[in-house]
């Protein structure tokens, strides 16, 4: 067991002071590669503090194994993916939660609506644990306009006049010491704007001679992918599937590219010519996501391919 997991397991949530911060996000004006986290703190009642402590304690107890984060790793209900603190932007969130001054105190409901995530900060004897959760849809103004909040009291449903916000009984991320524990991988990546593993994986793909040698020039592909999370995921899927390593697959792809209506051409050395316009179809082809129907040979793009036994 790692030291940080041991500290997390031993943390006394029941006796901890609880501070709730609510965050909205954007892009850093001076560095477009960095996220901007704008946090405000809100006064909470004892019942909510106790509830958040109970949620944190339950979530921590449910973690029975940890696995180092990588782009293809997945959580199960009893596991957490671990990421070194310094590899993420979580430090920006922690720093924002440092001081609860009046300037950043929430006194208007507009500071809550459209928040992207909230952070429960648990403090006990100098130790601190952060529980981070993406806000549910009803925190968004567009959702709130389309629902009526009601409460069940005195054996009937009645409209709830006050503004209501739900706090979910789980966290997406826990932070303890120098470790980030990702409990919900997708939400963790979104909240922390975490792309380093995706970028490292794409770098590895561009060092794979089987991949690079397919093309006359790999630079347009690098530009096409850039730091876009969706394309980085698709590149990871291409690497995982590994069709580009199969010479028979590539021969078949080139032989059938016109029939598949792929915007792909090859040069005199039988290498795929990469242009900005061709990159999307190249990715579809290497994922094997361009398929032909039995009916009139209609051609379709698909999201996934599953072998039929």
Residue-wise pLDDT tens digits, 275-286:
999 999 999 999
135 and 90 share one domain? yes
Give the DSSP per-residue string, 36-56: EEEEEEE---HHHHHHHHHHH
Name the residue range of residue 143's domain.
3-193
Residue-wise pLDDT tens digits, 115-125:
999 999 999 99
User: 213 is written with which tokens?
Assistant: 């040698």
Residue after which a domain boundary falls, among 132, 165, 193: 193
Q: Is residue 126 part of a domain?
A: yes
Residue-wise pLDDT tens digits, 195-241:
777 788 899 999 999 999 999 999 999 999 998 878 988 898 898 88
241 and 261 share one domain? yes
Q: 191 — phi, psi (to 5°)?
A: -65, -45
49 and 115 share one domain? yes
Q: Is residue 150 part of a domain?
A: yes
- pLDDT at site 247: 94
187 and 68 share one domain? yes
Residue-wise pLDDT tens digits, 97-150:
988 999 999 998 899 999 999 999 999 998 999 999 999 988 887 666 777 777
In whole angstroms, how large is the CA radius of gyration of the chain?
24
Residue-wise pLDDT tens digits, 33-58:
678 899 999 999 999 999 999 999 99
For residues 18 and 11, is the Cβ–Cβ distance under 8 A? no
Q: Is residue 306 part of a domain?
A: no
Tell the residue number behind the tokens 């009803």, with chain if given: 138
Question: Is residue 32 over pLDDT 80?
Answer: no
Q: Is residue 253 part of a domain?
A: yes
Total domains in the fold of the chain: 2
Residue after which a domain boundary falls, among 161, 193, 225: 193
Question: Is residue 162 over pLDDT 80?
Answer: no
Question: Is residue 1 over pLDDT 70?
Answer: no
Predicted TM-score (pTM) of the model is 0.73
User: Among the listed ranges 67-81, 92-106, 150-164, which one has the minimum average pLDDT value?
Assistant: 150-164
CA distance 302 to 293: 12
CA distance 21 to 96: 9
62 and 185 share one domain? yes
Residue-wise pLDDT tens digits, 165-206:
889 999 999 999 999 999 999 899 889 888 777 788 899 999
Closest CA to 90 of 194, 200, 187, 184: 194
Strand 117-124 to 127-134 pairing: antiparallel
């Amino acid at each position: 067991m790692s030291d940080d997991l041991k500290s997390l397991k031993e943390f006394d949530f029941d006796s901890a002071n609880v501070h709730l911060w609510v965050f909205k996000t954007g892009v850093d004006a001076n560095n477009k590669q960095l996220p901007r986290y704008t946090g405000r703190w809100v006064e909470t009642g004892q019942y909510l503090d106790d509830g958040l402590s109970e949620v944190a304690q339950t979530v921590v107890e449910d973690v029975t194994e940890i696995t180092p984060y990588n782009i293809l790793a997945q959580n199960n209900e009893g596991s957490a993916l671990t990421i070194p603190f310094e590899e993420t932007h979580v430090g920006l969130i922690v720093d924002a939660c440092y001081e609860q001054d009046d300037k950043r105190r929430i006194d208007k409901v507009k500071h809550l609506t459209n928040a992207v995530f909230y952070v429960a900060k648990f403090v006990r004897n100098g130790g601190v644990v952060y529980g981070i959760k993406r806000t549910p849809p009803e925190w968004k103004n567009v959702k709130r306009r389309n629902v009526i909040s009601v409460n069940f009291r005195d054996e009937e449903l009645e409209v709830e006049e006050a503004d209501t916000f739900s706090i979910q009984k789980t966290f997406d991320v826990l932070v303890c010491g120098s470790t980030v524990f990702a409990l919900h991988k997708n939400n963790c990546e979104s909240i922390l704007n975490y792309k380093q593993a995706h970028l490292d994986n794409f770098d590895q793909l561009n060092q794979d001679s089987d991949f690079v040698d397919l093309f006359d020039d790999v630079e347009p592909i690098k530009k096409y992918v850039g730091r876009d999370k969706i394309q980085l995921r698709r590149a990871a899927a291409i690497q995982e599937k590994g069709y580009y390593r199969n010479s028979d697959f590539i021969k078949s792809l080139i032989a059938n590219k016109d029939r598949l209506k792929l915007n792909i051409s090859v040069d005199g050395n039988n290498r795929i010519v990469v242009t900005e316009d061709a990159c999307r179809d190249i990715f579809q082809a290497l994922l094997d996501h361009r398929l032909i129907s039995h009916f009139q040979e209609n051609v379709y793009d698909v999201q996934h391919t599953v072998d039929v036994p």
